[in-house]
Chains A and B, each alone.
Chain A
Amino acid sequence: MYAFLTLTRRELTAHFVSLTGYVVIAGVQLLLGQSFWTLLDALNGKPFDMPVTEKFFDTGFFWLVLLLVAPLITMRSYAQERASGTFETLMTTPIGEVQVVLAKFCGALAFFLIAWLPAAAYPFLLRHYAEGMAPVDAGPVAATLLGIALLGGFYMALGCFASSLTRSQIVAAMTTFALGLGLFLLGYLSQLRPPEPGWQAQLLTHLSMLEHMRDFSRGVVDTRHVFFYLSLTAFFLFLTLRVLESRRWK
């Protein structure tokens, strides 16, 4: 447990001693600021009857954040250590493989959430400056945060898995981006074509991350969605664990 915390801390702080970490944070702020600005613009225009959180995620910048930032955060986790050889020194300490997988995942997720942290000011800014115009309910905000954490967790797990497969950070980042974009577009299909009744449409709707996130931003916490992301995250972490163990297969 002690070793696990040490490694998690190392994974997290490593982002803050590299330039990439700050570039990621700056990039996230730029995209989220853009979202916020669009939201403010909308509040000044025609009245709308959706929660502000839904309007915020309607802008699409959120997806850019997820798709672009996940590869950047996770690409180093295993690929860099394999390339520099420190993976060998890490795996010959008494720490177990499960602990390594979890620590690297937690470190990446923690950094992802920290990059989001400044956005926590948005509801307070709105409440302060746009009082009376648009009520900011705590419910949808909390549900949205949960959604961000769940989707973030899934993308981090995906990225860790891609990173564990290679010694090249570029390859890891591109694999994560391709897999992430593929999964995202899969859900987009149901958006492009009005769902015709039938099992295909049902399946697509069920897989659609856009739909899931819309629910979260409306303040709807659907246990199916929660289970969907938790199980996918666990699945990719399990795959990563198998990759780590594979070096000791006979």
Chain B
Amino acid sequence: MSAEHMIEVENLTKRYAGRTAVEGLSFTVSRGEIVGFLGPNGAGKSTTMRILSGYLAASSGTARVGGFDVLTQSEEVRRRIGYMPENNPLHEDMRVREYLKFRARLKGLSGARCRDRVDTVLGQFGLDEVSNKLITHLSKGFRQRVGIADALVHEPELIILDEPTIGLDPHQIRTVRQLIKDLGRKHTVLISSHILPEVEVTCSRILILHEGRILAADTPDDLQQRMAGRTQIIAEIAAPEPDLRHCWEAMAEVEQFDVSAAEGEFYRCALTPRAGMDLRPQIYELVKERGWRLRELTRSRHTLEDIFVHVTSRDREEEN
């Protein structure tokens, strides 16, 4: 039993009839981390979360939460997690306070502790004003808060939220993101999303899942760094094409270049610098020296979007 790891997953595989949802997944999550699962629909995010929460059993491999096996010590695991499934299912016919009380009791809280915790989460998530409303009459944003409040009501060590911001408007998304960030101070949090900015903003570490496998696992910054080798510098310059080509060949810092005609006498040059260097000052100096005209000079930084597309498409190429 290791104290520092909240989740330990080893070689986890889940097969449904005729389809493999998760294949040979291995990863660990330390206590206090906010980790994001990122992947397109059907990548195996929900399946992994369902296995961790003890709802499904893996076909092979092991998963431990807080040192307890999710299959053989399921009850211990379920005591320690707060799980909100995809689409946040709630009992529509119950009132907010009634629902949270019901859930808290199911999770073993009783008497004064139950009342205290329900009051606390109602206040914490700004649900006081709707506490006596039927859940079916709530807006999507409030429903989401009820779902997260339910996941938290028994003060679990690990919180698993499947697509917590799906279907919310931008303002509500910002609120939920802040909630998740706040949770990270006291709890270990695992969230999933197919929207990149989502995990980029909230998570300290990202696991990119694709077709049931982990393609990349790193902090958002390190993932950026890893892509640095692919940084490009775009310059649009009005100059004779052979001169341009000659210049780039002569420049030692340029690893690769591509010159194509743009409108008028401008040429669009895409340069790949060695080791992600920033060549913009040099290019500016060059243009000034030769008396050429320059109309664009940019460095393309890779967003997680690019990383994601890159990582998933590389995988597809390997398969073909």
- Out of B57, B60, B78, B106, name the residue touching A248 (CB < 8 Å): B57
B110 touches A86 (CB 8 A): no
**Residue of A3, A85, A90, A92 with most chain B CB atoms under a 10 A cut-off:** A92
Stretch from B89-97, B179-187, B234-242, B255-263 contacting the other chain:
B89-97
Interface size class on chain A is: 20 to 34
B105 CB within 8 Å of chain A? yes
Closest to A84 in B: B89
Q: Are A92 and B81 in contact (CB under 8 A)?
A: yes
* Nearest CB of A to B215, in Å: 26
B84-117 interface with A by 8 A CB criterion: 84-87, 89-93, 102-103, 105-108, 110
A223 within 8 A of B: no
Q: Which A residues are in CB contact (< 8 Å) with B75?
A: 94, 96
A60-106 residues with Cβ-Cβ distance < 8 A to B are 84-86, 88-96
CA–CA, A126 and B185, complex, Å: 70
Complex Cα distance A246/B50, Å?
15
Knowing A6-B106, A7-B106 touch, does A89 contact B58 (C-beta < 8 A)?
A: no
Segment of A10-18, A27-35, A160-168, A185-193 engaged in the interface with chain B: A10-18
B90 to chain A, nearest CB (A): 7
Find out whether the CB atom of A86 lies under 8 angstroms from the CB atom of B90. Answer: yes
Find out whether the CB atom of B55 lies under 8 angstroms from the CB atom of A93.
no
When the two chains form their complex, are residues B83 and A89 in contact, meaning their CB atoms are under 8 A apart? yes
Q: Which of B57, B78, B86, B90 contacts A94 (CB 8 A)?
A: B78
Query: A2, B55: Cβ atoms under 8 Å?
Result: no
Q: A223 vs B12: C-alpha distance in the bound complex, in angstroms?
A: 52
Kindly state the separation between the CA atoms of A85 and B81 in the bound complex, as whole angstroms. 18
Distance, CA A3 to CA B59, complexed state (A) = 30
Asked if B48 CB lies within 8 Å of chain A CBs, one says no
Partner of B92, one of A84, A89, A90, A248: A84
CA A94 to CA B103, docked complex, whole Å = 11
Bound complex: CA of A91 vs CA of B78, how far in Å? 9
The answer to whether A6 and B102 touch across the interface, beta carbons within 8 angstroms, is yes
Query: For residue B74, which residue of chain A has the nearest CB?
Result: A248
A190 to B71, CA, bound (A): 50
Q: Is the beta-carbon distance between B79 and A94 smaller than 8 angstroms?
A: yes
B79 and A88 form a contact (CB under 8 A): no
Tell me if A247 is interfacial: C-beta within 8 Å of chain B.
Answer: yes
Residues B49-90 near A (CB distance < 8 A)? 50, 53-60, 71, 75, 78-79, 81, 83-87, 89-90
The residue from A14, A18, A94, A247 contacting B56, defined by CB atoms under 8 A apart:
A247
Chain B 264-278, CB-CB to A under 8 Å as 1, else 0, gives 000000000000000
Which A-chain residue is minimally distant from B59 (CB atoms)? A250
Asked whether B93 lies within 8 Å of A2 as measured between CB atoms, the reply is no
**Cβ distance A95 to chain B, nearest Cβ, rounded Å:** 6
Say if the beta carbon of B157 comes within 8 Å of chain A.
Answer: no
Chain B residues with CB under 8 Å of A89's CB are: 83-85, 89-90, 103, 150
CB atoms of B89 and A248 under 8 A apart: no
* Inter-subunit contact A93/B103 (CB<8 Å): yes
How many Å lie between the Cα of A3 and that of B108 in the bound state? 6
The answer to whether residues A2 and B108 also contact, given A93-B78, A93-B103 and a CB cut-off of 8 A, is: yes
Q: What residues of A have a CB within 8 angstroms of the CB of B83 in the complex?
A: 89, 92
B105 CB contact (under 8 Å) in A6, A86, A91, A92? A6
Contact A3 B105 (CB under 8 A): yes
Measured CA separation A2–B105 after assembly (Å)? 7
Measured CA separation A18–B90 after assembly (Å): 16
Task: Give B164 Cβ to nearest chain A Cβ, in Å.
Answer: 14
Q: How many Å lie between the Cα of A88 and that of B84 in the bound state?
A: 9
Q: How far is the CA of A14 from the CA of B94 in the complex (A)?
A: 9
When A88-B50, A88-B55 are in contact, do A93 and B106 touch as well, CB less than 8 Å?
Answer: yes
Please name all residues of chain A whose beta carbon is closer than 8 Å to the beta carbon of B55 when the two chains form the complex: 88, 91-92, 247-248
Q: What separation, in Å, do the CA atoms of A90 and B85 have in the docked complex?
A: 11
In the bound complex, residues from chain A placing their C-beta under 8 Å from that of B79 are 94
Measured between C-beta atoms, what is the minimum distance from B192 to chain A in Å?
Answer: 15
B298 to chain A minimum Cβ distance, whole angstroms, is 46
B-side contacts of A84, CB under 8 Å: 89, 91-92
- Sorted from nearest, which 6 A-B pairs have the closest CB atoms? A85-B89, A248-B57, A6-B105, A93-B106, A92-B53, A88-B85
Q: Give me 27 A-to-B residue pairs in the complex whose CB atoms sit less than 8 angstroms apart, sorted by A's number.
A: A2-B110, A3-B105, A3-B107, A6-B106, A10-B102, A17-B93, A18-B93, A85-B85, A85-B87, A86-B91, A88-B89, A89-B83, A89-B84, A89-B89, A92-B78, A92-B81, A93-B78, A93-B103, A93-B106, A93-B107, A94-B75, A94-B107, A95-B106, A247-B55, A247-B57, A248-B56, A250-B57
Q: What is A's interface to B at a CB cutoff of 8 Å?
A: 2-3, 6-7, 10, 14, 17-18, 84-86, 88-96, 247-250
A91-B55, A250-B58 given; name 19 further pairs at CB < 8 Å: A3-B107, A6-B105, A84-B92, A86-B91, A88-B55, A88-B85, A88-B89, A89-B83, A89-B150, A92-B81, A92-B85, A93-B106, A94-B78, A94-B108, A96-B75, A247-B56, A248-B54, A250-B59, A250-B60
